[in-house]
Amino acid sequence: MADQLFDFGLIGLGVMGRNLLLNMADHGFAVIGYNRSPQKVTDLENEITPGTTVKGTSDLKLFVNSLKSPRRITMLVQAGKPVDDVLNELIPLLSKGDIIIDGGNSHYTDTLRRVQYMQEKGFHFMGMGVSGGEEGARRGPSIMPGGDPEAYPHVKPMLEAVSAKVNGEPCVAHLGKGAAGHYVKMVHNGIEYGIMQLISEVYDVLHRGYGLTNDELHQVFKEWNDGELQSFLVEITRDIFPKVDDKTGNRLVDMILDKAGSKGTGKWTSQDAMDLGISIPTIDIAVSMRNLSALKQ
């Protein structure tokens, strides 16, 4: 495998990156992953599906030189300065026309800046939202790419292959130039915040207001998920009610601290809507409720 050239490369072998890379390999693409941590490389190699072509390395130069031209590299690293740090390490190793995709939750203004910066140096840069979490990355996420339309045909077959499918159609589309992909992902996450807050309030009214037991709540959410309210969020809410806490024997939902964290994308949606003069009260309140819950001990 030492002299082999790979179809796609991925930087950042955390769970999301590792799963997405393995997903690519399962669909017939020869892939190589890079991480500075040798342990992350080992974790990747321990999960390779037999018969697929996957390599891991902690050598960035080897990683870049092992890719077919034009190089197609996806980054799944923490948003902010780490993305710029990786780009600055990559640039001296790249060739004109290479394609870099940021698959993390970068703010769209950062993506706009990077698109321009990379374009001036002769490279293609795309911002790409990935939805579905760790399991989605492995089995089929919803993918929201944006950026240079000239670059998209080079990555479209792979993205359509690894994406989730609905009625046989891939859950991926090029959403526009610049930072369109990351902008749509930001709004997507804001909408998700609103839906989760609605689910939380419905649970609270039915449980504390109407006195429904966990078994009764399970049945209510089951009926909703069997109808027009069917969704991943309703499904996982349905499934939590019967689960038992291993330590106490009580229902798990009754043992969970009512406290939510945040990565900031919902807040960005609210902030941008305010800047644009657009009213999104459901999302605004959902962001505020998350902030309030984060104060709980």
For residue 2, what pLDDT is reported?
47
For residue 263, what pLDDT is reported?
76
* Residue 278 or residue 258, greater confidence: 278
The domain spans of the chain are 8-178, 185-293
- Which tokens is 235 given? 């499904």
In contact, 103 and 83? CB cutoff 8 Å: no
From the options 3.40.50.720, 3.90.1150.10, 3.40.1400.10, 3.40.50.620, give the CATH code of 8-178: 3.40.50.720
For residue 265, what pLDDT is reported?
83
For residue 294, what pLDDT is reported?
87
Question: In whole angstroms, what is the distance from residue 171 CA to residue 143 CA?
Answer: 6
Active site residue 192: yes
Q: Which CATH superfamily is domain 185-293 in?
A: N-(1-d-carboxylethyl)-l-norvaline Dehydrogenase; domain 2 (1.10.1040.10)
Please give the model's pTM, rounded to 2 decimal places. 0.90
For the chain, what is the mean pLDDT? 95
Q: Which member of 192, 222, 243, 267 is catalytic?
A: 192
Q: Which member of 120, 185, 228, 296 is catalytic?
A: 185
Residue 262 has pLDDT above 80, yes or no: no
For residue 257, what pLDDT is reported?
86
Nearest to 102 by CA among 156, 92, 112, 24: 112
Question: Which backbone phi and psi does 279 adopt, to 5 degrees?
Answer: -90, 120
For residue 259, what pLDDT is reported?
85
Residue 260 has pLDDT above 90, yes or no: no
pLDDT digits (tens, 9 = 90+) for 162-196: 999 999 999 999 999 999 999 999 999 999 999 99
Active site residue 177: no
Confidence of residue 261 (pLDDT cuts 50, 70, 90): confident
The arithmetic mean of pLDDT across residues 41-67, rounded, is 95
DSSP string, 237-271: HHHHTT-B-TTTSSBHHHHS-S-----SHHHHHHH
For residue 1, what pLDDT is reported?
44
